[in-house]
Amino acid sequence: MTKHDAAPLIEIKDLERRFDVSKSPLSRFFNRGQKQYLKAVDGVSLEIPKGETLSIVGESGCGKSTMAKLVVGLDFPTAGSISFEEHDLSKPEDFTKFRSRWQMIFQDPYASLNPRWRVRDIIAEPMREFHPGVSRVEVDDVVGDLLTKVGLSPKDAEKFPHEFSGGQRQRISIARALSSEPEFLVCDEPTSALDVSVQAQILNLMKELQERLGLTYLFISHDLAVVHHISTKIGVMYLGRICEVADADDLFRAPRHPYTRMLLETIPKMDTEVVERVPVSGEVPNPINAPSGCTFHPRCPFATDRCKQEAPALRDTGGAKVACHAVEEDRLPPADRTRKPHGKGVQNA
Amino acid sequence: MDDVLLDIRGLRVEFPTRRGTLVALDDISLALQPGEILGMVGESGAGKSLTGASVIGLLEPPGRVAAGEIRFDGQRIDDLSQEQMRQLRGKEIGAIFQDPLTSLNPMHRIGKQLVETIRTHLPVSEAEARKQAIDMLREVGIPAPEQRIDSYPHEFSGGMRQRVVIALALCTGPKLIVADEPTTALDVSTQAQIIALLRRLCKDKGMAVILITHDMGVVAEIADRVAVLYAGRLAEIGPVREVVQNPQHPYTKGLMASIPVPGRRVEWLPQIPGSMPRLSEIPHGCAFSARCEFAHDQCRAKRPPMQQNENGNLSACWLSVLEQAETGGRHD
Amino acid sequence: MTITPDSPPSRFNRFMDSDLMFSFLSSKLTVVSAIITLIFFVAAIFAPLVAPHRPFDPATIDLLDAFTPPVWAEYGDARFLLGTDDQGRDVLSTIIYGCRISLLVGFAAVGLSLLIGVGVGLLSGFYGGWLDTVFMRLADVQLTVPAILTALVIDGIADLFVPPSMRETLSIVVLILAIGLSDWPRYARVARSSTMVERNKEYVMAARVIGVGSFRIILRHILPNILGPILVMATIGLAIAITTEATLSFLGVGVPPTTPSLGTLIRIGNSFLFSGEWWITIFPSLALVLLVLAVNLLSDWLRDALNPKLR
């Protein structure tokens, strides 16, 4: 499946999205406040090879959803660039040319389908947009095909969204995304609103479609288990920055960045005897007043003065890319994946 | 073994609608010992939150308990008046909900809410109640509780707010806590902290907990026993190790297999075909029969009884009854 | 792909089986008000067929019939069920024709408010920014001016510019404008807030990803989804518009006595109230009260039926 030699389908360079979250000019004047910005995405560089799945994991507010919106053109970056098949997409007009080549799948199956439309019209919307004048017979044909492809029946085209369960709605959502025959799908937490048994169905369907249609995925999630299952590569995001990118298996076997390690710690274990886990410390700080230097330093057991002052760059480290001074200086203890009591640095909150 | 704190027997909850009566909970029986953590899992609509709501007497009308009984400390509580239930709910039974914001009054300082709750149920002075409140906040891991007690709920972060809610639920020293998805609204790293906190407090204080969640991982982490609900019925109940590693009911088996395990990648996740039936469309016999690969005629005709296996697992499946449990084996 | 016809039930069957229909049929008061409203509508639309007399045709009026009391009273005349007025016109017939004018003005005024209000609300809520600020300030200003004052101003302006010969024909248009223009901010506000909710829903984002134009998103995606609450408001608005019209006509700024509305009829009859000819004003008043009450009850039910929290 992998084609490492080919140029990446999507290439993201130094992407930045800054939001102005200042108070109104009047209140700034009276309170002598400064203009305030929130960097939802702060200098992210990534590439996604054709036919592969890159996942971005992180906690809420880390900027992963903003990333997804930037990539599909629902929002525009304040700096940096995105290119699709080596065509630069910096200007909104450039997006129009390639719009039919990518699609998005959303988190909430109850909000992502227009409740007043019939399933046929929902699925056919992209088709009608890109091929105006397509005949009713053709539409019925393609819609029936797509419904079968996602595991529903062609008869369902006549129904309204409220007649379906959450998992079935997500299938309709996928069918809609496929109707413009895209190559690239951005999936923003597509299974986090679903029950586990349904989640398995949707993940399997997505994998199957990827193999059959040669799709490329950008998969956004907070669930590490799901991410490991579906991805070839994983990027870990914290407060707008990427702190580690690695091959999926590699990331789980040998996590490098302390934040990645902490995230892996938090996954409840089902298959081992209960060990008294060392609880993780702290919470994600307010991104408006992000910490200086490495933004993770207040929660990091290995932080030094350098970490507090200087933001680490993403560096190649043995197959993975990591942004951490401790990794660069090689002063991290080896990753502890055997679940013995952890180093003494992490303390209870 | 005979020491039972909460005893639910044959609980049946119905929702009358114009298209007929929907049976939302059907013949649920389970017992909880003091200090025990019972996880309650199931898909949305399986009835796990309803079970919790029945115990704390907060069933939303028109839902009603149609049959069965709930006993708390030997006393029947399903037929108590609103007022009696409210007394019991504050003092003996605590509740924690998913969204910490809805459990706290945004207009009042958290100290006031804690002190009021304590003084409503315990005969203590204002100053004594405040002291207890501060101790409670310290216990749930709020730093500098002497100062934070005078903060408003919005001044806390999500995880800290859920800690305050836990303090509020625990401050009267209840014997039972009903926690409905207490960590779902939180970030993963915060979630782990709250789970650890809940477990520690329950073990320290000998409180029993009904932990309602859709997250098998959370249950595996802190529960002693787990009950699996399907379409308003109990599919399986037993010690958490047993249910997780050696499930008896085909639904539980499918459910466990469908959870992706990080670090153990498979090409295809085993999946249960179809989805849980709506309450109006529950099949005859076993509710799971339409999706079960082992279903035979009897499954479609008659509802299976709860059957105990040698490891202490109770499950409602004709296969176990007929001792054909090994059919199919492990799924991975 | 052929779709078997048996799967989806017909639109009519679905409607009859819906929760809305059920809640309608289970409330007797609502059914009664619906029937009353329907009778008013039918009578107004088919006035020439329904009314026993043609009160505005001078050829059929006989001044000798003036001030005939209702049938059941002494000196009542079987031809005039509810009696006649000072010019010998049949009161029942004038009421039926009056309803026609009242309902016409009411519907047209609500239509105008809806058009402006929903349009403004959609644009305001969808685009936000300075457009929103300008529109909403405009709505605030409009809301500070009472409907009757707006109507009087528009009536005054119309009096200045419209030649006296055309005033009678144009008076209805003036009324519609006056009432319609004063009521749009209510619709604009509701439409705006619902639009802001819908705008951020994922189905709208899905449409934007494939590049559907803003205008089509507004019309095809958002509009159908915000109509529910606005429909409820419009039914209340109809009752309000009918009363406003009656008020204006009663004050003399409304429709002229030659083609009277309910309000005009009440005004005309008012002067005979103390001289004993009570029926000339009481029956139009009762008709007005009945109509407005029925429409209000209907809209009350509709609001509850469409509100998922109260179900």
- Judge: B44–A195 Cβ closer than 8 Å, yes or no: yes
C27 and C294 Cβ atoms separated by less than 8 Å: no
Q: Is there a contact between C209 and A159 if contact means CB atoms under 8 Å apart?
A: no
Average pLDDT, rounded, for chain A: 85
Q: Where is pLDDT greater, at B311 or C222?
A: C222
Q: Are A339 and A272 in contact (CB under 8 A)?
A: yes
Q: How many CB atoms lie within 10 A of CB B5?
A: 19
Q: Does residue B282 share a domain with residue B173?
A: no
Per-residue H/E/C for B174-205: CCEEEEECCCCCCCHHHHHHHHHHHHHHHHHH
The reported pLDDT for the residue numbered A220 is: 94
**Nearest in space to C311 (alpha carbons), one of C295, C224, C303:** C303
Q: How far apart are CA A123 and CA A168, in angstroms?
A: 13
Convert the pLDDT of each residue in A129-153 to its tens digit. Answer: 998 888 999 999 999 999 999 999 9
DSSP type of residue B151: S
How far is Cα C1 from Cα A156, in angstroms, rounded to an integer?
Answer: 12
Pseudo-torsion of CA C278, C280, C284, C290, nearest 10°? 30
Under 8 Å CB pairs connecting chains A and C tally to: 67
pLDDT category of residue C311 using cuts at 50, 70 and 90:
very low
Confidence of residue B324 (pLDDT cuts 50, 70, 90): very low
Q: Which residue is closest to B243 within chain A, CA to CA? A: A270
Q: For residue C99, what pLDDT is reported?
A: 92
Residue C145 has phi, psi (to 5 degrees) of -95, 120
Size of interface A-B (CB pairs under 8 A): 125
pLDDT at C309 over 60: no
**Taking CA atoms, what residue in A is nearest to C224?**
A116
Cβ contact, residue pair A141, C1, below 8 Å: yes
- Cα gap A294→A310, rounded to integer Å: 6
Residue with tokens 């369902």: A156
Nearest 5°: the CA angle B201, B203, B208 is 90
Total structural domains within chain B: 2
A148 close contact with C: CB closer than 8 A: no
Tell me the C-alpha distance between A251 and A57, whole Å. Answer: 12
Determine, for residues C205 and A104 on separate chains, whether the beta-carbon distance falls below 8 Å. Answer: yes
What are the domain boundaries of chain C? 40-310
- Average per-residue pLDDT for chain C: 85
Segment C174-197 shows an average pLDDT of: 91
- State the pLDDT at residue C9: 58
Tell me what pLDDT residue A97 has: 82
Q: Which of A255-269, B242-256, C18-32 has the highest mean pLDDT?
A: B242-256
A278 CB-near residues (< 8 Å, 6+ apart): A265, A341, A342, A346
Rg of chain C on CA atoms, in Å: 23
Judge whether B214 is closer than 8 Å to chain A, CB to CB: yes
The CATH number that applies at residue A207 is 3.40.50.300
Inter-chain touch C8–A158, beta carbons under 8 Å? yes
CA C83/CA C90 separation, integer angstroms? 6
Q: Are A38 and A178 in a shared domain?
A: yes
Would you say residue C195 has pLDDT above 60?
yes
Find chain C residues with C-beta within 8 A of A180's C-beta: 210
pLDDT at B154: 87
Q: What is the pLDDT of residue C71?
A: 81
Q: Indicate if B37 and B185 belong to the same structural domain.
A: yes
Residues of A in contact with B247 (CB under 8 A): none
Structure tokens at A11: 């290439």
Q: How far is C213 from chain A (nearest CA, A)?
A: 10
Please indicate, yes or no, whether residues A300 and A185 belong to a single structural domain of this protein. no
d(CA A175, CA A171): 6
Has residue A271 got a pLDDT over 80? no
The verdict on C45 touching A (C-beta cutoff 8 Å) is no
Query: What pLDDT digit, counting tens, does each position of C232-250 carry?
Result: 899 999 999 999 888 888 8
Together in a domain, B177 and B143? yes
pLDDT for position A335: 66
Q: What is the mean pLDDT of residues A233-248?
A: 93
A113 vs C7: CB contact, 8 Å cut-off? no
Whether residue B212 sits in one domain with residue B127? yes
Q: Tell me, yes or no, if B39 comes closer than 8 A to chain A by beta carbon.
A: no
- Top-tier CATH class for C40-310: mainly alpha
- pLDDT at residue C2 is higher than 60: no
Q: Which residue has the tokens 């080549």?
A: A101
Q: Which of B225, B163, B222 is nearest to B6 (CA)?
A: B225
Which residues of A are less than 8 Å from B196 in CB distance? 277, 279
The CA distance from C76 to C72, in Å, is 6
Given a cut of 80, is residue B262 above it in pLDDT?
Answer: no
Which pLDDT value is given to residue B332?
38
| A210-214, A304-308, B149-153, B264-268: range with lowest mean pLDDT | B264-268
Q: Please name the member of B157, B214, B244 whose beta carbon is closest to the beta carbon of A195.
A: B214
Q: Number of structural domains, chain A?
A: 2
Whether the CB of C225 is below 8 Å from some CB of chain A: the reply is: yes
Give B291→chain A minimum CA distance, Å. 12
The sheet carrying A53-57 orders its strands as A102-105, A184-188, A216-221, A53-57, A233-238, A241-247, A320-322, A315-317
- Same-domain check for residues B296 and B150: no
Q: Which residue pairs from B105-108 have beta carbons closer than 8 angstroms and sit at least 24 positions apart in sequence?
A: B105/B153, B106/B152, B106/B153, B106/B154, B108/B152
Q: Which of B161, B225, B269, B291 to mutate to test the interface with A (most CBs of A within 10 A)?
A: B269
B171 Cβ under 8 Å from any chain A Cβ: no
Which chain C residues are Cβ-neighbours of A116 within 8 angstroms? 224-225
Phi, psi for C208 (deg, rounded to 5):
-70, -30
| CB-based contact A225:A248 (threshold 8 Å) | no
Tell me the pLDDT band of A154, cut-offs 50, 70 and 90: very high
Measure Cα distances from C16 to A116, C19, C21, C297, C301 in Å: 18, 9, 6, 21, 17
Nearest-Cα distance to chain C for A94, in Å, is 12
Residue B328 pLDDT more than 50? no
* Chain mean position to CA A90: 20
pLDDT at C106 over 70: yes
pLDDT band per the 50, 70, 90 thresholds, residue C38: very high
Q: Per the domain annotation, does B91 fall within a domain?
A: yes
Of the pLDDT bands very low, low, confident and very high (cuts 50, 70, 90), residue A339 is: very low
Is there a single domain that holds both residue B173 and residue B312?
no
With beta carbons less than 8 A apart as the criterion, state whether C243 and C175 touch: no
Domain match, A192 and A307 both = no
Domain boundary among B193, B228, B263: B228
Residues present in chain B in total: 332
> Domain with B150 in it: what CATH number?
3.40.50.300
Q: Encode burial over B250-261: b for 16+ CB neighbours within 10 A, e otherwise.
A: bbbbbbbbbbbb
Residue A266: inside a domain: no
Q: pLDDT tens, B293-319?
A: 888 888 888 888 888 887 788 888 888
Q: Tens of pLDDT along B170-205?
A: 888 899 999 998 888 777 777 888 888 888 888 888
**One domain, residues B304 and B183:** no
Shared domain check, B270 and B127: no
- What's the length of chain A? 349
Q: Any idea which residue has 């107004």 for tokens? A: C44
Contacts of C231 in chain A (CB under 8 A): none
Q: What is the mean pLDDT of residues B279-291?
A: 88
Q: Could you give the CA distance from residue C289 to residue B43 in angstroms, rounded to a whole number? A: 54
For all residues of chain B together, what is the average pLDDT?
86
* Cβ-contact B148, B175 below 8 angstroms: no
Facing residue for A113 by CB, picked from C7, C8, C203: C203
Assess B158–A contact: CB distance below 8 Å, yes or no.
Answer: yes
Which range has the worst mean pLDDT, B25-39, B71-85, C12-26?
A: C12-26
Mean pLDDT of A73-90: 88
Q: Indicate if A320 and A175 belong to the same structural domain.
A: no
Q: Is there a domain that residue A3 lies in?
A: no
Residues C256-279, mean pLDDT to the nearest whole number? 84
Reply yes or no on whether the pLDDT at A321 is more than 60: yes
Task: Tell me, yes or no, whether B300 lies in a domain.
Answer: yes
Domain check: are B190 and B159 in the same one? Answer: yes
Residue B45 to residue B65: CA distance in whole angstroms: 17
Quick one: A177 and A292 in the same domain?
no
Q: Which residue of A has its CA nearest to C10?
A: A158
Q: Which residues contact C155 (CB under 8 A, 6 or more apart)?
A: C174, C178, C248, C253
Percent of chain B with pLDDT over 70: 96
Please check the confidence at residue B94 and state whether its pLDDT lies above 70. Answer: yes
Choose among C113, C86, C36, C27: nearest CA to C289: C36
Q: Are residues B252 and B222 in the same domain?
A: no
Together in a domain, A76 and A171: yes
Of C201, C205, C210, the CB nearest to A126: C210
Q: What is d(CA C172, CA C174) in angstroms, rounded to the nearest whole number?
A: 5
Cα–Cα distance between A109 and A64 in angstroms, integer? 19
Would you place residue A277 in the very low, low, confident or very high pLDDT band (cuts 50, 70, 90)?
Answer: low
B234 closest CA partner among B73, B68, B92, B80? B68
User: Average pLDDT for residues C59-65, to the nearest whole number?
Assistant: 79
Among B216, B262, B269, the residue with its CB nearest the CB of A203 is: B269
| pTM of the predicted protein model | 0.85
Cis peptide leading into A92, omega within 30 of 0? no
Same domain for B182 and B131, yes or no, is: yes
Best residue in A114, A120, A189 to probe C by mutation, most C CBs within 10 Å? A114
DSSP string over C140-198: HHHHHS-HHHHHHHHHHHHHHHS-GGGHHHHHHHHHHHHHHHHHHHHHHHHHHHHHHHH
In tens, the pLDDT along B23-60 reads 999 999 999 999 899 999 988 888 999 999 999 988 88
- Identity at B46, one-letter amino acid code: A
CA distance A270 to chain B (A): 6
- What residue numbers bound the domain in which B177 lies? 6-228
Asked if B43 and A197 come within 8 Å (Cβ–Cβ), the reply is yes
Task: Please tell me which residue of chain C has the smallest CA distance to A113.
Answer: C203
A242 has a pLDDT exceeding 90: yes
More confident residue, C58 or A165: A165
Mean pLDDT (whole number) for C107-117: 95
pLDDT at residue B17 tops 70: yes
Residue bearing the bigger pLDDT, A25 or A175: A175
- Report the residue of B187, B224, B240 to disrupt the A interface, i.e. the one with the largest count of A CBs within 10 Å: B187
Question: A249 to chain B nearest CA, in Å?
Answer: 7
Q: Is there a domain that residue A123 lies in?
A: yes
CA-to-CA dists, residue A309 to A286, A291, A296, A314, C166, angstroms: 18, 9, 12, 16, 82
Residue with tokens 């004993």: C276
CA–CA min distance B125, chain A (Å): 31
Q: Which helix (H) or strand (E) holds B84?
A: helix B82-91
d(CA C109, CA C88): 32
Name which of B303, B299, B291, B210 is nearest B252 in CA terms. Answer: B291
The whole-number pLDDT of residue A280 equals: 63
CB A245 within 8 A of CB A233: yes
Cβ of B245 under 8 Å from any chain A Cβ? yes
pLDDT surpasses 60 at C135: yes
Q: Do C7 and A99 touch (CB under 8 A)?
A: no
* pLDDT at residue number A3: 44
- Domain presence at residue B160: yes
Of A12-21, A41-50, A187-196, C65-74, the one with minimum mean pLDDT is C65-74
Q: ipTM exceeding 0.90?
A: no
Bridge pairing between strands B20-32 and B6-17: antiparallel
Could you tell me the pLDDT band of residue A243, with boundaries at 50, 70 and 90? very high
> Which residues on chain B are in Cβ contact (under 8 Å) with A166?
44
Judged against a pLDDT cut of 80, whether residue C216 lies above it is answered with yes
- For residue B169, tell me if it sits in a domain: yes
Q: Is B269 on the interface with A (CB under 8 A)?
A: yes
Portion 104-123 of A in contact with C at CB < 8 A: 104, 106-108, 111-116, 122
- pLDDT computed for residue C191 by the predictor: 95
pLDDT tens digits along A6-50: 678 999 999 999 988 877 777 777 777 777 888 899 999 999 999
Q: What is the pLDDT of residue C286?
A: 93
pLDDT for the residue A90: 75
Calculate mean pLDDT across residues A117-123: 94
- What Cα–Cα distance (Å) separates residue C232 from each residue in C220, C228, C306? 20, 7, 8
pLDDT band at C22 (very low <50, low <70, confident <90, very high): confident
Do A345 and A207 reside in the same domain of the chain? Answer: no
Assess whether pLDDT exceeds 60 at residue B116: yes
Nearest CB neighbour to C203, from listed A99, A111, A130: A111
Containing structural domain, residue A123: 10-253
| A173 contacts on C by Cβ (under 8 Å) | 206
Q: Is C299 in contact with C230 (CB distance < 8 Å)?
A: no
Q: Is the pLDDT of residue B145 over 50?
A: yes
Q: pLDDT tens digits, residue range C139-185?
A: 999 888 887 788 778 878 887 887 877 777 778 888 888 889 888 99
How much is the pLDDT for A342?
39
Subunits with 3+ Cβ pairs within 8 Å of C are: A
Rg for chain B, CA atoms, rounded:
21
Domain presence at residue B18: yes
